[in-house]
Amino acid sequence: MKPFNQNEINLSKYVAQWVVDTKYEDLSAKVIDYTTTFAVDHFGVVLAGTQKTSSNIIFETCKLWASTQGKCTLVGHKEVNSAPFAALINGTTGHALELDDDHREGTQHPGVAVIPAAFALAEQLGKSGKDFILAAALGYEIMIRLGEAHMGKSYLRGFHPTGTCGTIGAAVAAGKLLGLDVGQMTSAIGLAASQSAGLLTFRSNGAWNKRLHAGQAAMSGVICAELASRDFRGPSESLLSPEGWLQAFAYNDEFDLNFVVDRLGEKWDLLENSIKVHACCRFAGPIVDATLETVFRENILPEHVESVTIAMAKYPLTRSLIEPLERKLNPTSVVDAQFSAPFAAAVSIVKRRAFVEEYSETGIRDPEVLAMARKVKWEVDPEAERLWPKRYPCQVTITLKDGRTATSRVEWPKGDPENAVTDEEVRVKFMTLATPVLGEAGATRSYKAARGIVSAANMRELSASLTPR
């Protein structure tokens, strides 16, 4: 595409034109492979997420509203529902474990907003695996770039970018599958921008609205794209104007348009997306990595530890991981623990891992972990502060009772492209999460179907493998 000229073209139409014009053949092998991996990872996380109470509530609620016309798969369930409610259920469920993929500079979780929308529409329309991958890749790219444009500062206004950016990313994916023209796609983006929502108020009591942000974004994206396909009129410019989306969610009116338009279609920012390996907030993940590195290298046992010091960027600490302090030291909910720096370090020392069981209702009340959490201190690392959110470095120093200290610094947390998970690690994660729901044979079938998604003539070939037999 020609470079964006703010004086000649509106941003919404510019983005819509790119989405409409981009074909599967325009995707590189790397973009296809990465998007496929994100889909595999997503479906495994959703399967495991069905075990959570919040997921059961959203499932049972939407079951009351199920349409007789609906035939879209609810991952991990035998029941089906309409496309909007399937997107709502699968998106909310996928965000329950804090194990879904994440983009560091976009400071968001694109998979749980984009993939449920694309999956529901691809099923409804009988689309192929290639159609699904193209739509998902486009949704990821636009969602991520919009998040990057706020330079990690939208959080400072109290917004959760998974919700605010996710609605537009989901609408792009859904609209691509519906075959919207440029005018319709512009409307879909505009309608979705008006539906953007997501407040960080879950921190007040470990609430589940953060999980709902993902599902709500996926559902709204489907609805907005469907409306636009019937020529429901949306704004002609919704992203860049005094009343537009970029301005509305910007902290101190700060945003960088170049993140959205620079080399769009040439440089794919989705290639910088990360696969999570720890069941906690992405900001806490580097704490786990650095702590585990030290624990295993020095063979440190809990009884050896006098104190622990975490050094990282200011925002993750002060706005996410240590306030309110008493609930971070003694979590009253799984969400409290998922967003706790002291708990992340403590569970890594005591349990030597930080996965689903460690962040369960039982795991967060382990007395040995809670006692260790009270030994954790923290400080702002100026270098990490300078780099955030482009990078999430973290240093952990463990002081032992014999006076020695052991330190590890993580520049690239596990799962980042610079410290990527292997295909085998993705498979093991999927099998670990899916087996309790589908059984080992079912999980194996599901993994193979998801990994081979680009070969599917119809997305229902995958759907059948994602539900219990």
Whole-number pLDDT of residue 315: 85
Superfamily of domain 11-272: 2-methylcitrate dehydratase PrpD (1.10.4100.10)
The contacts of residue 141 (CB under 8 Å, 6+ apart) are 264, 268, 269, 270
Element (H, E) at 308: strand 305-312
CB atoms within 10 A of CB 365: 13
285-414 CATH, one of 3.40.50.2300, 1.20.20.10, 3.30.1330.120, 2.40.30.10: 3.30.1330.120
The arithmetic mean of pLDDT across residues 158-173, rounded, is: 97
Gap between the Cα atoms of 397 and 307, Å rounded: 8
Tell me how far apart the 2 most distant CA atoms of the chain are, in Å: 72
The arithmetic mean of pLDDT across residues 166-179, rounded, is: 98
Per residue in 10-64, pLDDT (tens digit) is: 999 999 999 999 999 999 999 999 999 999 999 999 999 999 999 999 999 999 9
The contacts of residue 57 (CB under 8 Å, 6+ apart) are none
pLDDT-derived band of residue 4, with 50, 70 and 90 as boundaries? confident
Single-letter amino acid code for the residue at 185: M
For residue 9, pLDDT over 90 is answered with no
Whole-number pLDDT of residue 3: 82
Kindly give the pairing relationship between strand 72-73 and strand 80-81.
antiparallel
Per residue in 420-447, pLDDT (tens digit) is: 999 999 999 999 999 999 999 999 999 9
The arithmetic mean of pLDDT across residues 113-133, rounded, is: 98
For residue 133, pLDDT over 80 is answered with yes
Per residue in 221-243, pLDDT (tens digit) is: 999 999 999 999 999 999 998 89
85 vs 4: which has the higher pLDDT: 85
- Say if residues 226 and 69 touch (Cβ distance below 8 Å): no
Q: Where are the domains of the chain?
A: 11-272, 285-414
pLDDT-derived band of residue 204, with 50, 70 and 90 as boundaries? confident
Gap between the Cα atoms of 41 and 426, Å rounded: 7
Alpha helices, DSSP H, located in 299-422: 314-315, 325-329, 334-338, 341-350, 367-373, 382-387
The arithmetic mean of pLDDT across residues 341-362, rounded, is: 98
For residue 319, pLDDT over 90 is answered with no
324 vs 408: which has the higher pLDDT: 408
pLDDT-derived band of residue 207, with 50, 70 and 90 as boundaries? very high
pLDDT-derived band of residue 252, with 50, 70 and 90 as boundaries? very high
Gap between the Cα atoms of 310 and 422, Å rounded: 28
Residue 29 in tokens: 């092998």
Write the CA distances from 243 to 4, 167, 193, 240, 363, integer angstroms.
20, 18, 11, 8, 46
Whole-number pLDDT of residue 469: 82
